[in-house]
Amino acid sequence: MRGFDYSPFYRATVGFDRVFDLLDNVAGQTSGNGYPPYNIEKVGENAYRIVMAVAGFAENELNVTQKENELLVTGQAAPTNDEGKQYLYRGIAGRNFERRFQLADHVKVSGAKLANGLLTIELQREIPEEKKPRAIQIQAEANKPALTH
């Protein structure tokens, strides 16, 4: 279902080309299998947190990488020796995964930790001084005296 046309929006916007490209990319992605489950939290005005349920993964089996405006989280489960085990029900997922997140401009990963089967990734939006809003001083022009002849 990639048939949505964003061209009418281009007429009324300036500099938002990237936004429409992101919308197009999201529309084109398949929903996937939803593994691993995750939450995205806003913990402050410029702070965010992604919490992923990665039960069964050790710290050295997880990789968190930021490249420009994309965050990639991967898990490579170590091979297990399941010989001789007979499962009546197997509901604990231990498969490899790859999860991508699109980050807004100026959002950086400030840390990651693994505790109790949850991978927590801390994100911080750091807006450069030149991008922050600033007041522009308005100067009134002095009235010029009228010329008389």
- pLDDT tier at 12, thresholds 50, 70, 90: low
User: What are the φ/ψ torsions at residue 22 (nearest 5 degrees)?
Assistant: -65, -45
Same domain, 7 and 73: no
Task: Name the residue range of residue 59's domain.
Answer: 36-80+91-130
Same domain, 115 and 76: yes
pLDDT of residue 84: 81
Q: Is residue 86 part of a domain?
A: no
Q: Is residue 121 part of a domain?
A: yes
**Residue 79: pLDDT above 60?**
yes
DSSP per-residue letters across 44-73: ETTEEEEEEE-TT--GGGEEEEEETTEEEE
Same domain, 105 and 66: yes
Q: Is residue 43 part of a domain?
A: yes
Q: From 125, 122, 124, 103, select the one nearest 52 (Cα to Cα).
A: 122
**Residue 28: pLDDT above 60?**
no
Question: Do 6 and 23 touch, CB atoms closer than 8 A?
Answer: yes
Strand partners, 125: 107
Structure confidence by residue, pLDDT tens digits, 81-95: 777 888 888 777 678
Same domain, 26 and 40: no
93 contacts: CB under 8 Å, gap ≥ 6: 35, 36, 55, 56
pLDDT of residue 51: 96
Same domain, 117 and 97: yes
Question: Do 25 and 102 touch, CB atoms closer than 8 A?
Answer: yes
Question: Do 119 and 75 touch, CB atoms closer than 8 A?
Answer: no
More confident residue, 93 or 116: 116
What's the rounded mean pLDDT across residues 122-145?
84
pTM over 0.85: no
